[in-house]
Chains A and B, each alone.
Chain A
Amino acid sequence: MAAFRFGLALAGLTLCSPALAQGGIDKADTAWIAVSTILVLLMTPALALFYAGMVRRQNVLSTMLHSFMLMGIGSIVWLGLGFTLAFGKSNGWLGGFEHVLGQNLSGSAPYGSQTIPSLLFFLFQMMFAVITPALISGAVAERMKFGAYVVFVTLWLLLVYSPVAGWVWNSDGWLFKLGTLDFAGGTVVHLASGVAALAASVALGRRRALSHGEPILPNNLTMTLLGAGLLWIGWIGFNAGSALAIDGISMVAFTATQIGAAPGMLGWLVCEKVRTGKPTALGAASGLVAGLVGVTPAAGFVTASGGLAIGFLAGVACCIAVTWKNRLGYDDALDVVGVHGVGGALGAVLTGVFASPLANPAVNDALAKGRASLILTQAIGVVTVGVYSFLLTLGILKVVGALAGGLRAEAEAEDTGLDLALHGESGYNL
């Protein structure tokens, strides 16, 4: 991604376009990243639709609000402190404070050796910071106190997302220097949020309806399919925009993204046909998201056939992984662990397997010590980010639980539905 190119440029390697070498602003790059930024912003309301369709009707608004809240909180936290912790001058673990409240960011000068204004890089990254904590909300749906959720995502953004983004994408980050490849956020976005979702599911406990054996029927899966379709569209900006230029790498990422989503969807449907006999529309929506998650870390490093393989494997693996929760007993309501955790981890490792110099010359350097070494480096990224996110999430929830007098809504509120009990409104008054 961005910092990846930035780092290579600093190291004197040969990825830079002439414009980049001169440190100037390229208008075509700027226009494309501005569009990509808007596309990534679209993903958060799309996620709200994707999630909200799957919950029971008495929780449809509280679930959508969990995503929308990040457009409010995430934007401000990223401006205030998040960006600088991730992309300020880093000691390897945490960035400095030079960009607090947007200081030292410019509409005309680039960040490092990029070819887009630093304010645009800040905004593009902001949209990632907005959607990542929102992904976790699928795990806590239908039972978390609203105030506790707000404090939790704020702290998570500052203590988990921002440092991890810096480790992987800041050119001084320790995982970046180790050579971990994460083009658009397989580790930073999906693995980090998927593992946090597991920690949150465990910390919150199971929904009361599950213990009663009450069927939990989605209120409107047509919304979920619309959300998945919009996520696919937004994801093009997420991945192809992560080249931070409109160039060959960007087109490689665009291709891998499209070609990753397609077999993800088909793979999940095949898996369902084999396992239950019935392919489902929800499975198609879930599978395309799984394929996109899988291909995210790989997008700018793999050929189309690499994207095809990763997308298919992610679709099948996530279809199997979403049933683990029933056996292990954690209540990951909307399968954030199964889709983003498993898809993110798998995609990160498969990036090591399928990264090809044919797609991106930078892969030659990544493969300098051999492919096994690259796969190991990818696995180190997965394990360290996974463990860090899991432990920090548990710790944050412990503190938030103590502050808020518990993480869960009252039993009666949960039975009534959070929309009416916590927000005094309901999504459907028919």
Chain B
Amino acid sequence: MVKIEAMIRPQRLEEVEAALRELSVGGMTVTEVRGMGQQRGVTHTYRGSTYTVNLVPKLKLEIVVPEERAEEVVDAIVQAARTGEVGDGKVFVIPVDAAVRIRTGERGPAAL
């Protein structure tokens, strides 16, 4: 199993969600996060005083899938989350040792 961690633009969530539903991906966790990368910060102006906020809001998606499905899920996320502008985000794939469904105690891919 692998965990796919995707940092995406908040406004692309609907598209990504639809793409994953298309692939019948079983579950996903979404967290509001702030981060920095190549995208420059956002400038706020209050009464003429400007402040640059370097950490920009993103969403972190966490999806655990059987290893053989990783490629198609990553492709789907990348396609749905891309705008072509700097700041589209990143996807990481991380090995997962174990998984348990708390309700039934099932383990491994069956728990996903």
Q: Does A276 contact B (CB under 8 A)?
A: yes
Assembled-state Cα–Cα distance A238/B1 (Å)? 70
Interface residues of A in 235-276 (CB under 8 A from B): 272, 275-276
Are B48 and A215 in contact (CB-based, < 8 A)?
A: no
Q: Does A399 contact B (CB under 8 A)?
A: no
* Residues in chain A near residue B51, CB distance under 8 A: 215-217
Q: Does B90 contact A (CB under 8 A)?
A: no
Are A322 and B48 in contact (CB-based, < 8 A)?
A: yes
* Residues in chain B near residue A278, CB distance under 8 A: 45
Are A322 and B47 in contact (CB-based, < 8 A)?
A: yes
A218 to chain B, nearest CB (A): 6
Q: Does A286 contact B (CB under 8 A)?
A: yes
* Residues in chain A near residue B47, CB distance under 8 A: 282-283, 286, 319, 322-323, 335, 338
Q: Does B21 contact A (CB under 8 A)?
A: no
Known: A215-B53, A217-B53. A323 touches B48 (CB 8 A): yes
Interface residues of B in 40-91 (CB under 8 A from A): 44-49, 51-53
Say which residue of B44, B49, B52, B53 sits within 8 Å of A326 (CB atoms).
B49
Q: Mark A207-226, 1 if CB is under 8 A from B, else 0.
A: 00000000111100000000
Are A217 and B44 in contact (CB-based, < 8 A)?
A: yes
Q: Does A305 contact B (CB under 8 A)?
A: no
Known: A215-B53, A217-B53. A282 touches B48 (CB 8 A): no
Chain B, Cβ-Cβ closest to A334: B47
Chain B, Cβ-Cβ closest to A54: B46
Are A275 and B53 in contact (CB-based, < 8 A)?
A: no
Q: Does A280 contact B (CB under 8 A)?
A: yes
Q: Mark A140-164, 1 if CB is under 8 A from B, else 0.
A: 0000000000000000000000000
Q: Mark B80-111, 1 if CB is under 8 A from A, else 0.
A: 00000000000000000000000000000000
Are A215 and B52 in contact (CB-based, < 8 A)?
A: yes
Q: For this complex, into which size category does the number of interface residues on chain B fall?
A: under 10
Assembled-state Cα–Cα distance A302/B53 (Å)? 46
Are A276 and B48 in contact (CB-based, < 8 A)?
A: yes
Are B49 and A323 in contact (CB-based, < 8 A)?
A: yes
A322 to chain B, nearest CB (A): 5
Chain B, Cβ-Cβ closest to A215: B51
Interface residues of A in 305-323 (CB under 8 A from B): 319, 322-323
B51, B52, B53: most-surrounded residue (chain A CB, <10 A): B51
* Residues in chain A near residue B46, CB distance under 8 A: 54, 217-218, 280, 282
Interface residues of B in 4-57 (CB under 8 A from A): 44-49, 51-53
B45, B47, B51: most-surrounded residue (chain A CB, <10 A): B47
Assembled-state Cα–Cα distance A195/B97 (Å)? 66
A219 to chain B, nearest CB (A): 12
* Residues in chain B near residue A272, CB distance under 8 A: 48
* Residues in chain A near residue B44, CB distance under 8 A: 215, 217
Assembled-state Cα–Cα distance A216/B51 (Å)? 7
Chain B, Cβ-Cβ closest to A323: B48
* Residues in chain B near residue A338, CB distance under 8 A: 47
Chain A, Cβ-Cβ closest to B42: A215
Chain A, Cβ-Cβ closest to B49: A326
* Residues in chain B near residue A280, CB distance under 8 A: 45-46
* Residues in chain B near residue A218, CB distance under 8 A: 46
Assembled-state Cα–Cα distance A280/B52 (Å)? 17
* Residues in chain A near residue B45, CB distance under 8 A: 276, 278, 280
Assembled-state Cα–Cα distance A326/B49 (Å)? 8
Assembled-state Cα–Cα distance A326/B45 (Å)? 13
Assembled-state Cα–Cα distance A326/B48 (Å)? 9
Assembled-state Cα–Cα distance A49/B95 (Å)? 50
B67 to chain A, nearest CB (A): 38
Assembled-state Cα–Cα distance A256/B45 (Å)? 31
Assembled-state Cα–Cα distance A278/B48 (Å)? 10
B63 to chain A, nearest CB (A): 27
B32 to chain A, nearest CB (A): 12
Assembled-state Cα–Cα distance A154/B111 (Å)? 67
A28 to chain B, nearest CB (A): 42
A161 to chain B, nearest CB (A): 26
Assembled-state Cα–Cα distance A218/B44 (Å)? 10
Interface residues of A in 74-119 (CB under 8 A from B): none
Chain A, Cβ-Cβ closest to B53: A215
Assembled-state Cα–Cα distance A215/B45 (Å)? 10
Assembled-state Cα–Cα distance A282/B48 (Å)? 10
B84 to chain A, nearest CB (A): 26
Chain A, Cβ-Cβ closest to B45: A276
Chain B, Cβ-Cβ closest to A280: B45
Q: List 9 A-B contacts (CB under 8 A).
A: A217-B44, A217-B53, A276-B48, A278-B45, A280-B46, A319-B48, A322-B48, A323-B47, A335-B47
